[in-house]
Amino acid sequence: MPDDLVASRSDAPRPERDDPALPSLGAIGLLRWAWRQLTSMRTALFLLMLLAIGALPGSVFPQRGVDATQVTRYRAEHPELSPWLDRLGMFDVYSSVWFSAVYLLLFVSLVGCVVPRTRVHLAAMRARPPRPPSRMQRMPAHASFEVEASESEVAEAARELLRGKRYRVDVRGGAVSAERGYLRETGNLLFHVALLGLLVAVALGSLTGYRGQFLLTTGTGFANSLVAYDTFDPGTWVDEGDLPPFQLTLDDLTVAFETDAAGNQFAAPRDFEAAVTVVDEPGADPVERTIRVNQPLPVQGTNVYLQGNGYAPVVTVRDTQGRVVKSGPVVFVPQGRFYESPGVVKVLETEPQVGLQGIFLPTWEMDAERGPVSVFPDALDPRWFFTAWTGDLGLDGGEAQSVYELDTTSMTQLTDDDRTPFAVGLSPGESIDLPDGAGSVTLERIDRFAAFGVRHDPAKGWALGFSVLAIVGLVASLFVPRRRVWVKVSGRGPEAPADGPGAGVIVVEVAALARSEDPRLEAEVAQLTTRLRERLDGTATEPNQEPGE
Amino acid sequence: MSVDTTLAQVSNVLVYSSMAAYSGALLGYATDLSSRGGRSARAVAAQEKVLVGSGAPVDDAAERPPMAGARSSRAAGIATSLTWLATGLHLAAVLTRGLSASRVPWGNMYEFAVTGSFVVSAVFLGLVVWRRDLRWLGVFSVGPVLLTLGLAVTVLYTESAQLVPALQSPFLVVHVSIAFISSALFTLGFSVHVLQLVQDRRQQARAAGTPPTRGAFMDRLPRAADLEALGYRLVAVSFPLWTFTLVAGAIWAEKAWGRYWGWDPKEVWTFVIWVVYAAYLHARATRGWDGRRATYLAIAGFVCVLLNFGVVNIFFSGEHSYAGIG
Ligand code: HEM
């Protein structure tokens, strides 16, 4: 039975006629053979499985495209293994040659499969339903009954009935052939074509779209252009000089954290909201807007997202003479749920240069073992702890350096009189003199910063559209039953008298064939039989059979 | 921002009460399976007597009705009543949990487990209302539900609280509720598919002249081919729902993180699950792959569902890291 089902599922040219032996047909023949293999159901299945397996490593190993810093950390932790993993593309799984090969082959196979199937399907929709089989009782569902009627009456009644049930009906030589459920194959083709469309939309989106990130401390602004981004990731077809010239100022950032619940929910973030002022293009009126998580701000065809936040202590550094050599907010990147934020202040103006390395704790407490720690992410009792270095910051060589790290190779750490490293904690408003007359440091106040992401993807609407089409097609493909039904008169009733009343009794046969998964096939035949009989023989001579439903 | 802790307590008590009722139900269903007597051949013959004939080949177990269990059993009746009771308590637990924080009750893994297992139970009851003769599925539905609840209260428990900002979205309702229903159907499908493989082996053994000596209760379940068909239907209903989950998740990700697809571990696994079940549907239509081999793929798909919930949430960091496990 399952074999039958499978064999009759579709008339698509699915070349699973197994001919593993190579036909000796020369180059063209070989190509044709290869193409047929590639577009076979079995290959598609194999490629699907490969796709699933191939996608997995990307969830195990950190991915450059997702979080490059994690990859750097992983590589540092696994120096032996990493070069090998890298060679295999394990840090770039989704852009690796082998992963791309799998999905491209799959989609080539898909095209090679969908095109001929579409052709066959179009022809099938125009063709007449096939003639009844000679032996109706061999069909998966079959019923027969006797009735006093003529062949043409049977055909007419069956035709009306089947038409009413949205079958395509054809009457030939007194026998009725009917077929329904073409929508199933249509849906299946739609589904597969929509997947292709989706792939194209995703590809277009990454070619013509861009994404970028920037940080703003409260009160500062951003003008959309390449130089203003901290990171910028354009598609190949993006003209980087031609970004929409909007401006955005961070007016305020409000945050809320869990204070009530205990356990692991304590201190969990509850709300972040950035109040911004936007100028759509130079000269336009400024408008006030808010950006929240899950609530990006659409500006000029892009979306601006609130992606992170943290603290920017406002630090003033004076030199020995008391001149201000550095003043302003410095971004400290928070880590963990209590926003312990390491960060550095680099003073380039002095000779020697000064570097302050430390950690900002929004709500600090002294832990007996670990020293000062943060116990809550909001700035309830903030304190900044740091050590100080003098020497060469290493910024003159022109090499790129992280603003969040201090390169101490050419620097010496300042110490107290007793030769222990100088280390100090400051609360807002406090100042401290550095040892060795290296100047003084003041923590003026604590500002916040917000990390924004900008995303432009002109093809995302298409991606959504194709996804919806895929679902629609899928539902039709899975749930529309496709079946053929035949009704024919197989002869006179075996017990019909030669003449007189009852002489016109004939045997009517109804048979059906499922052309897809179809658990209701027998019920359909039972129902058709009952209805047909009612129509032909309003005054039922025998007790009516229970309909199958 | 406050949480009604009393209500949260009530929810916890309700979870335990429902577990007690589920245990009773499990016992009842198990008794039913192990004590059902031989089939009443007369009832079967009566069924076959309808005019509609079937061209299906007759196999060794054809004397069984297609969906066994038509014989009404007291144990099964009691078990089903208990399941209704348990599911009602379970629903109340889910609702009070949600009300305690004035939000949908699926914001961390404890809540996923509690609400998800409720959906499994509700879908099972739905199936029983649809086809009363599916009560044999009881052990294999209530069992996983009880197991999940046990895990939830012992390992996953998290205090009721508000949501992190990323979860504060209408998509939490749409995306996750459909994912629940889909996962519940996959769970039931998995149970049925495992039974199918066992049944298949038994039928093969019997055909080879070495009838199995243990697990006699399996003889009261449907034939392998019917189990296969039922498992397929469960997956077939679930697959479009999972597809929807995937798409809704992508729309949400676009709103929350600025990209609709970013290969975050959770996204990877949702995608892998989708591909594996797509492969299963394909396999069923591929000659040489229908039957047992395709079923292995469906089982692999469910293993991925379990890994996605159990492992990915906890061990793989990503933007979806809101498991809330301390
Ligand atoms: C992008 C990869 C593909 C995916 C995700 C996919 C997915 C699916 C799914 C979910 C179904 C089940 C729908 C149903 O049973 O009606 C299906 C059916 C089908 N697919 Fe694919 N497919 C892919 C590629 C292909 C390729 C390359 C071929 C051609 C060799 C193909 C041929 C078919 C056929 C013939 C059916 C109908 C099976 C039947 O008659 O039941 N598919 N596909």
Q: Would you call B168 an interface residue with chain A, using a CB distance cutoff of 8 Å?
A: yes
Among candidates B1, B108, B169 on the partner chain, residue whose Cβ is nearest the Cβ of A270: B1
Nearest CA in chain B to A51: B275
Residue A20: per-residue pLDDT:
47
Q: Compute the distance between CA of residue A353 and CA of residue A334 in angstroms, rounded to an integer.
A: 26
Q: How confident is the model at residue A547 (pLDDT cuts 50, 70, 90)?
A: very low
Residue A398: per-residue pLDDT:
65
Residue B163: per-residue pLDDT:
83
Residue A31: per-residue pLDDT:
86
Q: Which residue(s) pair with A426 in the sheet?
A: A384
Q: Compute the distance between CA of residue B6 and CA of residue B3 in angstroms, rounded to an integer.
A: 9
- The answer to whether the peptide bond before residue A501 is cis (omega within 30 degrees of 0) is no
The residue-averaged pLDDT of A341-365 equals 92
Residue B282 near ligand 1, beta carbon < 6 Å: yes
Amino acid at A510: V
Q: Is pLDDT of B38 > 90?
A: no
Tens-digit pLDDT profile for residues B99-125: 998 888 888 889 999 999 999 999 999
The residue-averaged pLDDT of A213-223 equals 94
Residue A9 near ligand 1, beta carbon < 6 Å: yes
Residue A265: per-residue pLDDT:
78
Pick the range with the lowest mean pLDDT from A276-280, B153-157, B296-300: B153-157
| Residue found under tokens 């031989």 | B38
Residue A490: per-residue pLDDT:
84
Check the CA dihedral A44-A48-A49-A53 and report its sign: positive
Among candidates A2, A142, A453 on the partner chain, residue whose Cβ is nearest the Cβ of B290: A2
Do B80 and B128 form a contact (C-beta atoms < 8 A)? yes
**A67: left (phi > 0), else alpha (psi -120 to 50), else beta?**
beta
Closest protein CA for atom 41 of ligand 1:
B285
Residue B299: per-residue pLDDT:
97
Residue-averaged pLDDT of chain A: 87
CA angle A341, A344, A251 (to 5 degrees): 65
Tens-digit pLDDT profile for residues B161-205: 888 888 888 888 899 889 999 999 999 999 999 999 999 999 999
* Contacts with B261 from chain A: Cβ below 8 Å: 202
Q: How confident is the model at residue B65 (pLDDT cuts 50, 70, 90)?
A: very low
Tell me the count of A-B CB pairs closer than 8 A: 203
Q: Is pLDDT of B52 > 80?
A: no
Closest protein CA for atom 24 of ligand 1:
A110
Residue A24: per-residue pLDDT:
61
Contact B51 A526 (CB under 8 A): yes
* Contacts with A294 from chain B: Cβ below 8 Å: 165-166, 168-169, 252, 255-256
Residue A393: per-residue pLDDT:
86
Q: Is pLDDT of A14 > 60?
A: no
The residue-averaged pLDDT of A371-396 equals 91
Do B72 and B135 form a contact (C-beta atoms < 8 A)? no
Contact B286 A16 (CB under 8 A): yes
For residue B324, the number of C-alpha atoms closer than 13 Å in the C-beta half-sphere is 27
CA angle A115, A464, A455 (to 5 degrees): 125
Q: Is pLDDT of A19 > 50?
A: no
Amino acid at B281: L
DSSP 8-state assignment for residue A503: T
Among candidates B55, B244, B260 on the partner chain, residue whose Cβ is nearest the Cβ of A140: B55
Q: Which residue has the higher pLDDT, A27 or A190?
A: A190
Which H/E stretch holds residue A391? strand A383-391
Q: Is pLDDT of A211 > 70?
A: yes
Q: Which residue(s) pair with A256 in the sheet?
A: A271
Q: Would you call B174 an interface residue with chain A, using a CB distance cutoff of 8 Å?
A: no
Residue-averaged pLDDT of chain B: 83
DSSP 8-state assignment for residue A295: B
Closest protein CA for atom 5 of ligand 1:
B278
Q: Is pLDDT of B10 > 50?
A: yes
Residues 95-114 on B with a CB inside 8 Å of A are: 108
Q: How many helices (H) and strands (E) in chain B?
A: 10, 1
Pick the range with the lowest mean pLDDT from A125-129, A492-496, B235-239: A492-496
CA–centroid distance, residue A192 to ligand 1 (Å): 7
Residue B285 near ligand 1, beta carbon < 6 Å: yes
Q: Which residue has the higher pLDDT, A68 or B124?
A: B124
Q: Would you call B244 an interface residue with chain A, using a CB distance cutoff of 8 Å?
A: yes
Pick the range with the lowest mean pLDDT from A36-50, A96-110, A464-478, B116-130: A36-50
Q: Which residue has the higher pLDDT, B277 or B37?
A: B277
Closest protein CA for atom 36 of ligand 1:
B282
Q: How confident is the model at residue A229 (pLDDT cuts 50, 70, 90)?
A: very high
Tens-digit pLDDT profile for residues A433-455: 999 888 999 999 999 999 999 99
Q: Exposed, middle or buried: residue A539 (CB in 10 Å: 0-12, 13-18, 19+)?
A: exposed
DSSP 8-state assignment for residue A434: P
Residues 245-304 on B with a CB inside 8 Å of A are: 247, 250-252, 254-265, 268-269, 271-272, 275-276, 278-279, 281-291, 297
Q: Is pLDDT of A543 > 80?
A: no
Residue B36: per-residue pLDDT:
57
Nearest CA in chain A to B107: A265
Q: Is pLDDT of B317 > 60?
A: no
Residue A12 near ligand 1, beta carbon < 6 Å: yes
Tens-digit pLDDT profile for residues B281-293: 999 988 888 778 9
Q: Which residue has the higher pLDDT, B304 or A504?
A: B304
Going through chain B in order, the beta strands assigned E by DSSP cover 53-54
The residue-averaged pLDDT of A62-78 equals 86
Among candidates A138, A471, A526 on the partner chain, residue whose Cβ is nearest the Cβ of B55: A138
Interior/surface letters A12-26, b for 16+ CB within 10 angstroms, e for the rest: bebbbeeeeeeeeee
The residue-averaged pLDDT of A51-69 equals 89
Contact A59 B268 (CB under 8 A): yes
Cα-based distances in Å from A528 to A7, A120, A487, B71? 25, 29, 10, 30
Q: How confident is the model at residue A218 (pLDDT cuts 50, 70, 90)?
A: very high
Distance of CA B118 to the CA centre of its chain: 10
Q: How confident is the model at residue B323 (pLDDT cuts 50, 70, 90)?
A: very low
Q: Is pLDDT of B159 > 90?
A: no
In a mutational test of the pocket of ligand 1, which residue from B282, B286, B290 has the highest number of ligand atoms less than 8 Å from its CB? B282
3-state DSSP: chain B helix, strand, coil percent, rounded to 5? 75, 0, 25
Q: Is pLDDT of B19 > 90?
A: yes
Q: Which residue(s) pair with A234 in the sheet?
A: A210
- Neighbouring CB atoms inside 10 A of A64's CB total 16
Contact B52 A526 (CB under 8 A): yes
Check the CA dihedral A95-A96-A100-A103 and report its sign: negative
Residue % of chain A over a pLDDT of 90: 60
Residues 272-311 on A with a CB inside 8 Å of B are: 272, 292-296, 303, 305, 307
Q: Which residue has the higher pLDDT, A241 or A287?
A: A287
Contact B158 A265 (CB under 8 A): yes
Q: Is pLDDT of B244 > 60?
A: yes
Q: Is pLDDT of A7 > 60?
A: no
Token duo for residue A10: 């579709």
Residue A423: per-residue pLDDT:
92
Residue B320: per-residue pLDDT:
55
Q: Would you call A475 an interface residue with chain B, using a CB distance cutoff of 8 Å?
A: yes
CA angle B105, B107, B109 (to 5 degrees): 100
The predicted model scores a pTM of 0.85
Residue A195 near ligand 1, beta carbon < 6 Å: yes
Query: How far apart are the CA of A138 and the nearest CA of chain B, in angstroms?
Result: 6
Q: Is pLDDT of A152 > 50?
A: yes
Tens-digit pLDDT profile for residues B73-82: 788 899 999 9
Residue A455: per-residue pLDDT:
94
